[in-house]
A = this chain, B = another copy of it.
């Protein structure tokens, strides 16, 4: 009884305290649990199942573009990490170091991978010899570890799960093409499956990946107006190839350096799903990513024939949907709350009166709309409901983002928006890092990206007034 009470306790309202609402949802939907190592989280079944679906769908899309999966060691010798100067500078402060193996101190300490560019480069330097060995389009699913000071469920763990793609190409053009191709795979996946619209663009030099020539990003807006960088794709040019000696003999018999890319998406994206779609009752999962899409809940199940009919309904849906039935001893109201907290997209209510009328009630998680349907066409109607829900969730997210995106022609407008209207700001920028840093220091807003779709909002930089070079998205970010 004590436990039941705990669950039905209201989740903090998102308008009251968005951060607390987020933590409550993560906890009450049983997605994560704290571990006894600071900043390392336990993915519970409800949370991990979302990641499994993400993996399954992304992996399929990767393989359609020719990606092959591999697995490389988690330990990186310090000397290997140090070969590319920008890269080591970016990552060394975040490394966890293994200094003892068994009971012996090690001659060289080993870092737990914070990312695997260095090990992939080392591999490529050994297995790439000729143009016939190119391209190499490898990816690995693994965990990485970064010694972060502050952590937050899904958004920033010390250890998190991700995929990291690492490719090697004969030409700069091919590398650039692959970089953009994978950014598009991410953006399409997020829109089509997670119902999250993305802004695609390029990071400024300040914000790019340590060692990259160019970093591209997809940026999403959370319900509170903040930005979440949701996936990145980097073009390394031949910088790493030079540092790690990755050369191939070309058709013209000359020795050349390869051009490389890397791209990653992590469990952080689950944070985006929560913060884009969730509501005060908990998680709301888009049907295409939900581990359970439908929960069948019998009403007055002690009455004759109800459980039998509910089982029949469950069986009839099983092949076509990810469906479960809750025939536990809990009250229907309690079951509804549980299904809602966990974000299961639809429930089917079925009671004695429904059975009499040969009908069932489908309840949408997002709108709470109740749809009475004949049992004869239940599966087809359910599919329609889920498809509509998927489409409308994307549409709502897009409208929310667009209505919370503002343009600022000058510094007054910029600061006014920042103070009063949470969201994105489109503004012009002179291209100087000094200006970018000053904006961040003065307001806390960072450059999110230079979007592929440029507009001309003004001729001058929103901060310094010098001639503008790029339209840029600014925002506060997770």
Docked-complex contact A129 and B96, CB < 8 angstroms? no
Question: A100 to chain B: which residues have CB within 8 Å?
Answer: 96-97, 99, 109
Number of interface residues of A (CB under 8 A): 54
What's the Cα separation between A68 and B102 when bound, in Å? 32
Docked-complex contact A42 and B123, CB < 8 angstroms? yes
Docked-complex contact A102 and B147, CB < 8 angstroms? yes
| Interface assignment of A385: CB less than 8 Å from any CB of chain B | no
| Interface assignment of A143: CB less than 8 Å from any CB of chain B | yes
| Interface assignment of A74: CB less than 8 Å from any CB of chain B | yes
Docked-complex contact B73 and A48, CB < 8 angstroms? no
Which of A31-39, A175-183, A201-209 is found at the contact surface with chain B? A31-39
| Interface assignment of A80: CB less than 8 Å from any CB of chain B | yes
| Interface assignment of A41: CB less than 8 Å from any CB of chain B | yes
Residues 205-219 of chain A, each 1 if its beta carbon lies under 8 Å from chain B, else 0 = 000000000000000
Which residue on B lies nearest to A119, using beta carbons?
B35
Docked-complex contact A44 and B70, CB < 8 angstroms? yes
Docked-complex contact B33 and A52, CB < 8 angstroms? no
This chain's copy number in the assembly: 2
Docked-complex contact A72 and B119, CB < 8 angstroms? no
Question: A41 to chain B: which residues have CB within 8 Å?
Answer: 73
| Interface assignment of A172: CB less than 8 Å from any CB of chain B | no
Question: A147 to chain B: which residues have CB within 8 Å?
Answer: 101-102
Q: What is the CB-to-nearest-CB distance from A151 to chain B, in angstroms, rounded to a whole number?
A: 12
| Interface assignment of A302: CB less than 8 Å from any CB of chain B | no
What's the Cα separation between A122 and B110 when bound, in Å? 28
| Interface assignment of A193: CB less than 8 Å from any CB of chain B | no
| Interface assignment of A126: CB less than 8 Å from any CB of chain B | yes
What's the Cα separation between A35 and B116 when bound, in Å? 13
| Interface assignment of A456: CB less than 8 Å from any CB of chain B | no
| Interface assignment of A417: CB less than 8 Å from any CB of chain B | no
Quick one: given A37-B77, A42-B70, A143-B74, are A95 and B99 in contact (CB under 8 Å)? Answer: no
Q: What is the CB-to-nearest-CB distance from A237 to chain B, in angstroms, rounded to a whole number?
A: 24
Q: Tell which of A96, A109, A110 has the most Cβ of chain B within 10 Å.
A: A96
Docked-complex contact A129 and B43, CB < 8 angstroms? no
Question: A97 to chain B: which residues have CB within 8 Å?
Answer: 98-101
| Interface assignment of A438: CB less than 8 Å from any CB of chain B | no
| Interface assignment of A49: CB less than 8 Å from any CB of chain B | yes
Using a CB–CB cutoff of 8 Å, the interface residues on chain A facing chain B are 3, 33, 35-37, 40-45, 48-49, 51-52, 68-77, 80, 93-103, 109-110, 112, 119, 122-123, 126-127, 129-130, 138, 142-143, 145, 147, 159, 161
Q: Which 4 A-B pairs have the closest CB atoms?
A: A40-B73, A45-B68, A97-B100, A43-B71
